[in-house]
Amino acid sequence: MAGLSYTGLVTNIRNYTEVDSNVLTTDVLENIILNAQYRIFRDIPIDADRKIGTGNFTANTGTVTVPAGAVFVRAVQVYTATGSTRTGNNTYLQKKDLTFLEEYIAATTSTGSPKYYAMLDTGATGESSSNSGSIIVSPTPSDTFGYKIHYNAAPATLETGNITNYISMNFPNGLLYCCLAETYAYLKGPADMLQLYEQKYKEEAQKFALEQTGRRRRDDYTDGTIRTKIDSASP
């Protein structure tokens, strides 16, 4: 798969729109490409953005920092073994609202193996070093239990200093169409071209999302082979 580099994408945008670098400057195109990438990131759940962070709870401390770059947490897994061992018996914590945990913590002073977790943003004055906030668990860990945080990270963006990324190599047509829709919105017309590339992007995004959430997560052994129903001819 050839994919699409940053330079190739810039050239294609200018060629498709027939607008040169006097209007579509490098700065303007970098912003357009960045907006398109973040739109794709939020429109389509991409497997390449799924990450796992590991660590250990500190005994009698109920908060841990979310891994740097995390956009949202999908799950928190706690192991009964202490220390750096993250194998063997484990449990997935139940996600609750922060108000639930505050009420739960107020009602009990016990420590033990965590059962619940909630997102805890430390705020502007005490922002965590990861800039991704923290999670709070309850009951408060009674020991240095190992944990895994399953999360989605912000993707490496395509720019002059990073000429390819997962989207440009695996979804080049959708990236181009999304950029063209953003470009025609910036140029304020023609409206029919904006509608054309908006529709083409949505069509390709639907196919890519089906691949990411369907085919990549299916298994022939457990899910069976996908079969297309073919209606027989009427007698």
Domain boundary among 112, 134, 153: 153
**By mean pLDDT, which of 39-48, 59-68, 101-110, 195-204 is the weakest?**
101-110
Q: Are residues 60 and 123 in the same domain?
A: yes
Q: Please give the structure tokens belonging to residue 208.
A: 């890519």
Q: Are residues 169 and 149 in the same domain?
A: no
Per residue in 140-158, pLDDT tens?
998 889 999 999 998 889 9
Q: Are residues 127 and 185 in the same domain?
A: no
Give the total number of structural domains in the chain. 2
Whether 93 contacts 116, CB under 8 Å: yes
Specify if 190 maps to a domain: yes
Specify if 1 maps to a domain: no
Q: Please give the structure tokens belonging to residue 130.
A: 């990861």
Give start and end residues of each alpha helix (H) in 59-164: 98-107
Specify if 227 maps to a domain: no
Q: Are residues 57 and 137 in the same domain?
A: yes
Tell me the C-alpha distance between 94 and 102, whole Å: 15
Domain boundary among 133, 153, 173: 153
Domain extent, residue 135, equals 49-153
Q: Are residues 128 and 174 in the same domain?
A: no
Residue 235: which pLDDT band, with cuts at 50, 70 and 90? low
Specify if 233 maps to a domain: no
Specify if 71 maps to a domain: yes
Q: Are residues 204 and 109 in the same domain?
A: no
Residue type, 119: M
Q: Are residues 75 and 121 in the same domain?
A: yes
Average pLDDT of the residues in 14-40: 95
Average pLDDT of the residues in 97-124: 81
Per residue in 38-76, pLDDT tens?
999 999 989 899 999 999 998 999 899 999 889 899 999
Domain boundary among 100, 127, 153: 153
Burial of 231 (0-12, 13-18, 19+ CB in 10 A): exposed
Per residue in 220-234, pLDDT tens?
777 666 666 667 666
Q: Are residues 85 and 72 in the same domain?
A: yes
Specify if 64 maps to a domain: yes
Q: Are residues 56 and 144 in the same domain?
A: yes
Per-range mean pLDDT, top range of 87-91, 100-104, 157-161, 190-194: 190-194
Whether 178 contacts 201, CB under 8 Å: yes
Handedness of CA 101, 104, 110, 113 (dihedral sign): negative
Residue 107: which pLDDT band, with cuts at 50, 70 and 90? confident
Q: Are residues 101 and 176 in the same domain?
A: no
Q: Are residues 63 and 22 in the same domain?
A: no
Specify if 230 maps to a domain: no
Q: Are residues 107 and 138 in the same domain?
A: yes
